[in-house]
Chain A
Amino acid sequence: MTAPSALPAATLLVIDDDADIGQAIQNGLELPGVELTIHTATTASLGLQQAKHYRPNVIILDLQLPDMDGFAVFEELRRDAQLATTRVIMLTAQDSMANLWESVDRRLDDFIAKPLDLIELEARVYSQLLKAGVLPAV
């Protein structure tokens, strides 16, 4: 990771109370032509700490966290000027369309329903990195 590379680098943070999912994304998510660093957190408070520390380009945020509602975490992130450009993808439950629409209403960048599909997640992360200007537009 520390070796100099010509590839554009991107940092991701996964905040999900299930450590397995964080790990699966950390080990599995690959983007062609991108040097990815993925951090994981299992609680909202840990997630916020890490977000401030690493300043990730994209945060994948679970709606249901043990210590805080995902939307509240999002508000907290948006209050931090240094994280203003961070893109947030909300993981929502398929059974709560209301949450899904709330994600839209609250101007979240994207949302994706569980159970996740790796390819779908990769595509969405890629699209957010493009929009954030981390990757050069083709």
Chain B
Amino acid sequence: MPHRINAILSRVITRFGHWLERGVVWWRRRGRVWRCLGATVVAAVALAANLTWPNRLGQVNNYLLWWLLVVALSWVSGMIAGLWATLLLTLAQYRFFMVVPLPLAGYVNLGLFMGVGSVSSLIIGSRRLEEPTDRLTPMLHQLQEGVVITDAEGIIKYANPAMERMCGANLAGRSATSLGSGEGNAGADPLQLAQALRQRRVLTNRELDWESGNGSRVVALASIMPMVEAEILTGAVITVREITDRKLREEQKDQFISIASHELRTPVTSLKLNAQRLLRQAVKQGAAANERSALESIKRQADKLGHLVRNLLDVSQLESGQLTVRTRPLLIDEYLTDIIERLRLLTPRRSLEVQGALDGEVVADPDRLEQVLTNLVANAVQHSPEDSLITISLTPEPGRVVVGVRDEGEGIERTKQVHLFDRFYQVGSGGGAGLGLYIAKQLILQHSGTIWVSSEPGAGSTFYFSLPRVQVSAAARRNVRIKS
């Protein structure tokens, strides 16, 4: 029987503790003004009780009771509200009006009461629930990754030394929404912390790029994990991994590609022009077959090089965000018929067939759209046998048009399909730099479209892309007519 009572008691205590903690956490989430108002209400109730039952308890017990009230209020409400409660409760204890005609001993009492109340408020009220426990602190100090702990409003309660090193500043007390933003755009919240807290959503690997306090550039990946206790948001843990070196290397690589391809452009032009000229002369002068084939080979390779240089330039522009599309309304049917005629020249020893038809208008950059289609067809040619069929399918769908390019080639394994649109990714050793599909994807994304592949090994591949069909105003339609 005593066991049962013990069990029930302990359950009640646990339950009570749980609810008390929830209440405290909830109360601490209120703003400072609300907490001070709450303390005022408690002090008012205490004053009323004191006026109603004066000296019901002995003087000492009375003091103890008031101190306990101050301590409890400080613990629940934090330092500022605790100090406010101390002041109000002191006045309530001495019933306001009695303060003036107090004897000397009364003033000593009053000073003692205020002193103890204030000290306990400062000590107890300044203790934060969100602070890491002492056992964790040394670990957080040792971590190479930055760790930030915030309260539910996103105010930084704790930042480990690695984090403060990255920011070159003392972070406690600052809003974490300013993490990762420059001096000029503080509060821009590049972390999207406010949103993560509101939605209680975990955010991972957000790239931040900021200037630290000592002027050096810092690039880092940040993750946010909101902390929820008993369904109440208590704050968030933000971990930050610095990737400045990696980022700088990547940028140097992109810059190198950009410079190299710029520098290659002129020699390649010279090579191409001269190869074409010599080949022409050789044909005119009836040069030997082997001489001609050597010149043809030079010209072919120079063309390939020129193509590669153009692709690399596109890639470096895509990477630096400089590649922009200039869209305008296009009558899709007329436009595609035009391109497909030109593509027939690109598909020697393959038959090119068109299935389906499209009508209406899309908003696109005509040059870039042609580049996408050319890349897909060139890809189909590269990966399919001679005398096979390449089919371009045109399918209208609600709100969009879908264009497909099907080949009768070797097909692509499922594991490789996910990487097809990655930069520099190649299937097999078919040649090429692995840029065509990457560029195609980036260009289609810039058109707010999507690109995907459907393929089975041995059964050929079909690459699809979609473009949103846009409602075009009458003015824009007139514009199309004028332009075409």
Number of A-B contacts (CB under 8 A): 68
Q: Which of A27, A30, A101, A114 contacts B269 (CB 8 A)?
A: A114
Q: Is the CB of A118 within 8 A of B326?
A: no
Bits for A92-104, please: 1 = Cβ < 8 Å to B, else 0: 0111011001000
Beta-carbon contacts under 8 Å, A15-34 to B: 18, 20-21, 24-25, 27-28, 30
Q: Roughly how many angstroms separate A98 CA and B323 CA in the complex, as a whole number?
A: 9
Q: State whether the Cβ of A116 lies closer than 8 Å to any Cβ in chain B.
A: yes
Q: State whether the Cβ of B174 lies closer than 8 Å to any Cβ in chain A.
A: no
Interface size counted on chain A using CB atoms at 8 A = 21
Segment with Cβ contacts to A, from B32-40, B86-94, B108-116, B274-282: B274-282
Residues of B contacting A18 in the complex (Cβ-Cβ under 8 angstroms):
266, 269-270
Q: State whether the Cβ of A115 lies closer than 8 Å to any Cβ in chain B.
A: yes
Q: Is the CB of A95 within 8 A of B276?
A: no
Instruction: Give the nearest-CB partner of B309 in chain A.
Output: A115
Beta-carbon contacts under 8 Å, B279-318 to A: 280, 303, 305-306, 309-310, 313-314, 316-317
Residues of B contacting A80 in the complex (Cβ-Cβ under 8 angstroms):
none
With A21-B266, A93-B265, A115-B265 as contacts: A28 and B316 at CB distance below 8 Å: no
Q: State whether the Cβ of B268 lies closer than 8 Å to any Cβ in chain A.
A: yes
Which of A20, A94, A101, A117 gathers most chain B CB within 10 Å?
A94
Residues of A contacting B469 in the complex (Cβ-Cβ under 8 angstroms):
none
Q: Roughly how many angstroms separate A122 CA and B250 CA in the complex, as a whole number?
A: 40
Interface size counted on chain B using CB atoms at 8 A = 28
Q: How far is the CB of B260 from chain A (nearest CB, A)?
A: 12
Q: Is the CB of A95 within 8 A of B317?
A: yes
Which of B276, B309, B317 gathers most chain A CB within 10 Å?
B276
Q: How far is the CB of A62 from chain B (nearest CB, A)?
A: 9
Q: Is the CB of B316 within 8 A of A95?
A: yes
Q: Is the CB of A97 within 8 A of B326?
A: yes
Q: State whether the Cβ of B273 lies closer than 8 Å to any Cβ in chain A.
A: yes
Q: Is the CB of B313 within 8 A of A116?
A: no
B interface: dominant SS: helix
Q: Is the CB of B317 within 8 A of A116?
A: no
Q: State whether the Cβ of A119 lies closer than 8 Å to any Cβ in chain B.
A: yes
Q: Roughly how many angstroms separate A104 CA and B270 CA in the complex, as a whole number?
A: 26
Q: Is the CB of B277 within 8 A of A24?
A: yes
Q: Is the CB of B326 within 8 A of A24?
A: no
Residues of A contacting B270 in the complex (Cβ-Cβ under 8 angstroms):
18, 20-21, 24
Beta-carbon contacts under 8 Å, B213-230 to A: none
With A95-B262, A114-B265 as contacts: A21 and B326 at CB distance below 8 Å: no
Q: State whether the Cβ of B272 lies closer than 8 Å to any Cβ in chain A.
A: yes
Q: State whether the Cβ of B324 lies closer than 8 Å to any Cβ in chain A.
A: yes
Given contacts A94-B313, A114-B265, A114-B269, 9 further A-B contacts (CB under 8 A): A94-B265, A94-B314, A95-B261, A95-B262, A95-B316, A95-B322, A114-B266, A115-B268, A115-B305
22 A–B pairs (Cβ distance < 8 Å), ordered by A: A18-B269, A20-B266, A20-B267, A20-B270, A21-B273, A24-B274, A24-B277, A28-B273, A28-B276, A93-B313, A95-B258, A95-B322, A97-B323, A97-B324, A98-B324, A101-B326, A115-B265, A115-B268, A115-B306, A117-B272, A117-B276, A117-B306
